[in-house]
Structure 1
């Protein structure tokens, strides 16, 4: 496969910069230390070689993913601007004591019924975030932290909303496979990640024509490449194909995220201002009429 000259130059520069510190460090080592390192046992050399191979494979997968992203962007340059763009609404997960006081109306009991939160939020057992209809949040929108999907909006109140973790039985999300070895994504053949009320999730409707291996990543399906990088949902734990079944049977170890991190983002959508803008010549025509 031949790559553009400018891309080859970029990779060569990156490789040169990556190995430069190592070469400089080797020149500074005394000859005795270099000799002692070369006298490692065969088992130690083999282990070190395996680790280096694994790291090179990971870097190669990232390079493949970046290359595909560049190709997708080049192919989409001539397309019409999308009508909707993703927009992140900043939110925070309520701490346990905050949730308790909120549900007991400890902050709402001010003698005015109009300020009360919606009952379906207050009476739910699911965790809470501090945004609601006041921030134009809607049901089923995804929660994001550190490029990891950690939940999905369940019920929306005026100022707060409940959300379903990935393992919740009602969690559903379009998902696909990202091959850990090659960085290949299969957004056009996406399936659905299902919570099961257990520590593991299932990935449904992935065609058995797609290569799937244990350790492959499960990411949010994004055929339009709306996001600059894959949004992680989990990792393939088991993958089998039953006889005469057109789909894989896949169990997924979902990302757990850091529960101590309160800051999250709700993935919403906004109208693309480029599409809404009226061309100057059309404005002039309307004025003449």
Structure 2
């Protein structure tokens, strides 16, 4: 990590990577975030009771640690990406490249969690009544499924199979959609699957490793299949998305490998602890791929 910090400063004397420097500084000095958060609270509300001060300090500590963890995950992804790009650049030395605008961008739609177990009967009645008044069919307003119900639907551009995240962690995918709401299938569901790639962390670097298919196991965990026994796998490896709906895009975080054993079929048997906590979710983001409107069609 120290070498990565030095590399950023040497490669960027003009300060164009200030954001990356700050993230590195935060990860290398997590105590600074905690001290700053607690000091800020201490300087406010001089009349607060000791109990209130204690609760405020604990909340500040928790927020600072969460921020530090998110920054760490971002650096893990960025470190692996830069090493991969460096290898590619070395193999293509001397080739002429043309840099243009990205054709596809990824955006998110914010959605509130209405229910964690499908559509409650009261909501179903409200949707039917509103649909009748608007001249809509039942299939337009009622969505089936037993997953989480969120308050964004086809009217907001939400479509089936779009990833759903909370922070950097993958919650699941959109399983079914109506005009106003959608049902989200969690990553732990036994019918969920997604292409993933392992990222292994060394003492100073992070590297992309084996690819496979992540599947829900139905018991609160996930498993990865399709990884040959010849691949390097270890407990603690981080699991990220390999693509988004088949399109190369931002790396979304699934969780960590908590069990890795050889199976009789010549593959690894890999268990993954998901990164998200379903019970505490009140809001999620739906990830959508959009064509760049500023890119004109070629004549």
In which range does the TM-score fall when normalised by the shorter chain? 0.5 to 0.7
CA-to-partner distance for each residue in 1:164-201, whole Å, 9 max, x for gaps? 11111111111111113342123xx5211101222221
Asked whether the equivalents of residues 62 and 183 of structure 1 are also in contact (C-alpha less than 8 Å), the reply is no
CA-to-partner distance for each residue in 1:1-21, whole Å, 9 max, x for gaps? 99687149898x959x959x8
Q: What are the within-5 Å matches in structure 2 for residues 119-158 of structure 1?
A: 121-158=142-179
Asked whether the equivalents of residues 120 and 155 of structure 1 are also in contact (C-alpha less than 8 Å), the reply is no
Change beyond 3 A, Cα 1:65–1:154: closer
Q: C-alpha separation between the residues in 2 aligned to 1:168 and 1:109?
A: 31
Q: What are the within-5 Å matches in structure 2 for residues 95-106 of structure 1?
A: 95=115, 99-100=119-120, 103-106=123-126
Asked whether the equivalents of residues 151 and 182 of structure 2 are also in contact (C-alpha less than 8 Å), the reply is yes
Long gaps (5+) in structure 2: 16-20, 33-70, 90-96
Change beyond 3 A, Cα 1:70–1:117: farther
Shift of residue 104 of structure 1? Answer: 3.1
Q: C-alpha separation between the residues in 2 aligned to 1:267 and 1:151?
A: 11
TM-score of the superposed pair, with normalisation by structure 2: 0.63
Q: Which has the higher strand share?
A: 2
RMSD of equivalent CA atoms: 4.0
Q: Of the candidates 257, 262, 268, which is equivalent to residue 277 of structure 2?
A: 257
For the pair shown, which has the larger CA radius of gyration, 1 or 2? Answer: 1
TM-score of the superposed pair, with normalisation by structure 1: 0.65
- Corresponding position of 2:290: 270
Q: Tell me whether 1:91 sits opposite 2:111 in the alignment.
A: yes
- Corresponding position of 1:69: 81
- Corresponding position of 2:10: 6
Q: C-alpha separation between the residues in 2 aligned to 1:126 and 1:148?
A: 17
Q: What are the within-5 Å matches in structure 2 for residues 33-52 of structure 1?
A: none
Number of residue pairs the alignment of both structures matches: 235
